[in-house]
Amino acid sequence: MRARRGALGRFLLSLFVVGGFAVSGTGAAALPHAGAHVAGAAAVESLGIAGTAWIVDESTGTTHVLADSGVTDADLARLRGLGGAVGVERTGGRLRPLLAGGDGVYSSARRCTAGVNVQADSAYYFVTAGHCTDGLPTWYTTSALTTVIGPSTASSFPGDDFGVVRYADTSVPHPGTIGTVDVTGTATAYVGQSVCRRGAVTGVSCGRVTGLNATINYGNGEIVYGLIQTDICSEPGDSGAPLYAGDKVIGILSGGSGSCAAGGVSYYQPIQEALDAHGLSVY
C-alpha cells in the first residue's frame, strides 16, 4: 500500500525512485530516460495547474500532458514552455471525479457506482472510489435513502482514490459478479490491453489501456497518482465503476474527461492496492 500523500515531497521522492529504476533479481539498473522522467513529471506538477493529467513514456522519457477545457491559454503556454521533454494536448470537456445524482449507490449528497464485491473472513464489502466515500459514512440502494447498504469503513483520497463500504443489511444481495461476469480474480493492467468498464449510468463500455502510472490534478489540492489511463468514455455517476478484462478485475474508476456522446478518456485506481491495504479479496 502506498502511504497517503499529505507530504507530496516524500511521495514524489518515492515515485521517482520507482519510476527511475528497473528492479530485477540481480539488483536495480537505471532506465535510460530516468532523468527526463523525473524532470518532466516534476516540472508539470510544480506548475500546480488544475485540469491536467500526465503520464510518462518510459521508452523516451517524454511526459505527455492532457489539458482540459478549463486550462487557460496562459497556463497552456506555461506547460508548453517546459520544453521538448513535455508534450501537451488539449482534451475535450473537464477532468473531474465522476459523481452525480441518479441510479447506483447513494449517500446523502452523492451517487456513485459500486465497484466490485469483496470479503474479509465472514464480512462482505464493496470497493468504490475514495472521492465518493470521503466524508460520507452511510450508503443506500436508492436516492430515497430508504434501504441502507452500510457504512464506509475506509477511504483514501487524494493520493489514491479508493473507498470501502461494508454490507450491513443482509437483505441486500452482493454476488461476486460484474453484471453477468463471474469474477474469478484480479489482474494487472498493461498498455494495449482490451478492457471494459461497467458503470451505473453508462452501462458497459469497452476500449483499451493507453497508459500506466498517470497522475491527475483535479484542483483544490486533489492530486491522484498511479492511475490506469484508458480510451473508454464515462459520465458523472460512474465513479467507482469496475474496469475488467474477461473475468478479472483491474481497477476502479476515478475520473475522466469528455462524454460518451463525444468520446473521452477515463482513469482508474488499480484494484489490487485497495485489496492489499485492507486485507480484502474478490470472490
- Which of 33, 37, 64, 131 is flagged as catalytic? 131
Identify whether 131 is a catalytic site residue. Answer: yes
- Which of 161, 174, 257, 266 is flagged as catalytic? 161
Identify whether 182 is a catalytic site residue. Answer: no
CB atoms within 10 A of CB 3: 12
Identify whether 247 is a catalytic site residue. Answer: no
DSSP annotation string for 112-167: E---EEEEETTEEEEEE-HHHHTT--EEESSTT--SEEEEEEEEE-SBS-EEEEE-
Which of 33, 83, 44, 85 lies closest to 67, judged by CA? 44
- Which of 155, 156, 234, 239 is flagged as catalytic? 239
Q: For residues 107 and 241, give the distance between their C-alpha atoms in angstroms, rounded to a whole number.
A: 16
Q: For residues 32 and 30, give the distance between their C-alpha atoms in angstroms, rounded to a whole number.
A: 6
| Residues designated catalytic | 131, 161, 239
